[in-house]
Amino acid sequence: MFVELNDIERQRLYRVREGILANPEKWSTLASRERDLLRLRVGLADNELRELAEISQLYGLTIARIKLIEDKALKKLQ
C-alpha cells in the first residue's frame, strides 16, 4: 500500500495537470517515457494521482530516478 498524497502535493499535481491540458502543444516536446510518467503522476488517463513510489515500482526504477525524470519533464513544459 502506498502513502496517500498530502494536500499540498495533490494541489501541485492538479496545477500541473491543468497546465498540460491548457498547453497541449508543449506535450509533444516530451520524450515518450516523460509523457507516460506524467500521465500516470497527474492522472491524465484515469483522474487518479499517483505517488512516486507507485510509479517507481511500475517502471522498476528508484523513486529518486522517477523524481528526476518528472522534474526534467516539468522544466520542458514551462
Query: What pLDDT is stored for residue 5 in this prediction?
Result: 83
In a domain, 64, yes or no: yes
In a domain, 63, yes or no: yes
In a domain, 66, yes or no: yes
- Whole-model pTM: value is 0.87
User: Any idea what the CATH number is for the domain that residue 39 is in?
Assistant: 1.10.10.10
Range of the domain at 45: 7-77
C-alpha angle with apex 49: 44 to 55, nearest 5 degrees?
Answer: 95
- Give the count of alpha carbons within 13 A of 78, CB side only: 6
In a domain, 13, yes or no: yes
Question: How confident is residue 45, by pLDDT bands cut at 50, 70 and 90?
Answer: confident
Question: Coil, strand or helix: which one is 76?
Answer: helix
C-alpha cell at 24: 497541449
More confident residue, 3 or 52: 52
In a domain, 2, yes or no: no
**Contact criterion met (CB below 8 Å) for 49 and 41:** yes
**Contact criterion met (CB below 8 Å) for 8 and 35:** no
- Specify the number of domains making up the chain: 1
